[in-house]
Amino acid sequence: MEHKNNKEKLNKIITVILVGLLLLIIVVPIGEQNKKEGSISFQEESAQMVTDAAYYEERLRSILEKTYGEGTMEVMVHMKKDSKDAGMYEDEELIVDGILIVADVDGDTDVGDISFAVCALFDLPAHKVAVIKK
Domain range list for the chain: 2-133
Q: Are 67 and 36 in contact (CB under 8 A)?
A: no
* pLDDT, tens only, 14-27: 888 888 877 777 77
Q: Are 106 and 98 in contact (CB under 8 A)?
A: no
14-18, 30-34, 114-118: least confidently modelled range? 30-34
Q: Are 125 and 97 in contact (CB under 8 A)?
A: no
* pLDDT, tens only, 58-83: 999 999 988 888 778 899 999 888 77
HEC readout, the chain: CHHHHHHHHHHHHHHHHHHHHHHHHHHHHHHHHHHHHHHHHHHHHHHHHHHHHHHHHHHHHHHHHHHHCCCCEEEEEEEEEEEEEECCEEEEEEEEEEEEEEECCCCCCCHHHHHHHHHHHHCCCHHHEEEEEC
pTM beyond 0.75: the answer is no
Write down the CATH number for the domain with range 2-133: 3.30.300.30
Q: What are phi and psi of 128, to 5 degrees?
A: -100, 5
